Structure 1
Amino acid sequence: MAYIKWAFIAIFWSLVAAFFHYTLPQVDIVRITDTYEKRIDPGENRWFWASADVGSDGTVPNRDVFFIQTRRVGDDVMVYRNEDTGWGWPPYFKFDTSNLQAEAADLRSTAAAPQYVALKHYGWRNEFFTIFPNAVSVRPVDGPDAPKGIPWLNIVILTLFAAFVYAVWVRWRRFRRARIDPKLEELQDSWEATEDAVAERGNRLWRWLGFGGGR
């Protein structure tokens, strides 16, 4: 039972960590190589695509999605999608997809004359499932070694979450000590008393059958 308990705890916190890693914003220092638009038909990976842009027909099964092609400092390729989040989840309230695409297109550069940018995004890149992180904002920086900045929003959210978890844990311990532990002790005492009563009746029956003074 202990292994099952700790396995459940490990799975739960792994899911929590994955949720925050996917949802919270991250910043990459990249060089934009191209921007384009592509018709997308979301399938089994539809959970990793945002909804249709605000003001458009959300009932259409496919739609055009903006993409931003980049190269990171190590020269590896990273492709981002550029979709509105609107009023949905995650709550970035992003409505400026077209403006962001125009900014990204204006910041394109070549390897001979690189212009690096800090691209804020959320989500994951998975080539097997065709999943792309969603770009949130872009701004030019001085070079590939430019600081990404302190992630104040992430720090605040994770601190508040840790405080919430600690508060729930403290109240649960108090509730358990005040309500559950006494009941468990009563059940244990009752069970032990029942065992003693059963044993005493067995001894009486044993003596009644003439087998001496008990077992």
Structure 2
Amino acid sequence: MHYVKVVLGVLLGVVVFLFLDYALPSKNTVRITNTYNRLTAVTSSNAIFYAADDAGTVENSAGQRDVRFIETVRPNGKVFVYRNEDTGWIWPPYFKYDSANLHAEATNLKSGKSDPTWVSVTAYGWRLPWLTAYPNAIAIDTLAGPDERPRNWAAMVICGFLLMLLALFWRMWAQFRERTIDPALKSVDDGWDRASDRVSAEATEASGRMRGWLDRVKGKPRK
């Protein structure tokens, strides 16, 4: 049972980590190289990584959606692609409805390798090429240079708040266990011990009676 609890705890921790890693905003220093729209196939395998239907997205009869994209290059030369979709009011709770304005801003900040303009793109999500999934850009801020790394205050505040909730829940659970569960378990254990003692005593008494009956049958004098 101990190992089952450990495995379940590890699995729960992994799920929580992946959930936060996907949903929390991240910041990356990049240079925007291109912005464009493209018909993208949204299937059952990757629909979870795109905006919901109620966010104002439109799909054609072939299941393709007109999605805005932002192509970027990181300071180390690696390319990275963002999508730019509204999130709506449900999930994730970024309440983004300005994807058109963000697209125009990204287009205005395009720059070449010879005269780069470095920006910080705030986004959430994962880049999974095999699922055609892209992180969704939320905001763009200009930077002084490629070495500038803005602090991700939003993610830090959210993580701090979640840690406070976890500590509060842990304290409440400890008090509940101390006041309710532990006394109940102790009562059950005591009852089990009393029942075991009673059964043992009755078994001993029955064994003595059986031994006495056998002695009488064999004609042995009773002690």
TM-score (norm 1): 0.91
Larger Rg: 2
Q: Is contact 1:53-1:83 (8 Å) kept?
A: no
Count of aligned pairs: 211
Whole-Å Cα distance in 1 between the matches of residues 58 and 133 of structure 2?
Answer: 23
Q: Look up the match of 2:4.
A: 4
Q: Is contact 1:52-1:84 (8 Å) kept?
A: no
Shift of 1:27: 0.8
Q: Look up the match of 2:116.
A: 114
Amino acid at match of 1:83: E
Query: After superposition, where does 1:199-210 map in structure 2 within 5 Å?
Result: 199-210=200-211
Q: Look up the match of 1:171.
A: 172
Shift of 1:34: 1.0
- Residues 99, 53 of structure 1: CA spacing in aligned structure 2 closer, same or farther, 3 A cutoff? farther
1:66-88 alpha-carbon deviations (Å, 9 max, x no partner) = 00111111111100000001212
- Residues 113, 57 of structure 1: CA spacing in aligned structure 2 closer, same or farther, 3 A cutoff? closer
Whole-Å Cα distance in 2 between the matches of residues 14 and 84 of structure 1?
Answer: 28
Whole-Å Cα distance in 2 between the matches of residues 87 and 144 of structure 1?
Answer: 34
Q: Is contact 2:58-2:66 (8 Å) kept?
A: no
In structure 1, runs of 5+ residues without a counterpart are: none
Whole-Å Cα distance in 2 between the matches of residues 57 and 64 of structure 1?
Answer: 7
Q: Is contact 2:56-2:86 (8 Å) kept?
A: no
Q: Look up the match of 1:89.
A: 91
Percent same amino acid at aligned positions? 37
Whole-Å Cα distance in 2 between the matches of residues 55 and 34 of structure 1?
Answer: 24
- Among 41, 64, 67, the alignment partner of 2:66 is 64
C-alpha RMSD of matched pairs (Å): 1.9
**Greater Cα offset, 101-110 or 71-80:** 101-110
Q: Look up the match of 1:145.
A: 147
Whole-Å Cα distance in 1 between the matches of residues 126 and 185 of structure 2?
Answer: 46
Amino acid at match of 1:161: L
1:155-185 alpha-carbon deviations (Å, 9 max, x no partner) = 2211111111111111111111111111111
Q: Look up the match of 1:23.
A: 23
Q: Look up the match of 1:104.
A: 106
Q: Is contact 1:51-1:58 (8 Å) kept?
A: no
Shift of 1:140: 2.0
Q: Is contact 2:35-2:103 (8 Å) kept?
A: yes
Whole-Å Cα distance in 2 between the matches of residues 187 and 116 of structure 1?
Answer: 66
**Greater Cα offset, 60-69 or 189-198:** 60-69
More helix by share: 2
Q: Look up the match of 2:219.
A: none
Amino acid at match of 2:80: M
Amino acid at match of 1:17: F
Three-state SS of the structure 2 residue aligned to 1:120 is strand
Whole-Å Cα distance in 2 between the matches of residues 25 and 47 of structure 1?
Answer: 17
Whole-Å Cα distance in 2 between the matches of residues 89 and 191 of structure 1?
Answer: 50
- Residues 204, 14 of structure 1: CA spacing in aligned structure 2 closer, same or farther, 3 A cutoff? same
- Residues 176, 147 of structure 1: CA spacing in aligned structure 2 closer, same or farther, 3 A cutoff? same
In structure 2, runs of 5+ residues without a counterpart are: 215-223
Whole-Å Cα distance in 2 between the matches of residues 26 and 53 of structure 1?
Answer: 25
Three-state SS of the structure 2 residue aligned to 1:199 is helix
Whole-Å Cα distance in 2 between the matches of residues 63 and 133 of structure 1?
Answer: 16
Shift of 1:123: 0.7
- Residues 168, 82 of structure 1: CA spacing in aligned structure 2 closer, same or farther, 3 A cutoff? same
Three-state SS of the structure 2 residue aligned to 1:105 is helix
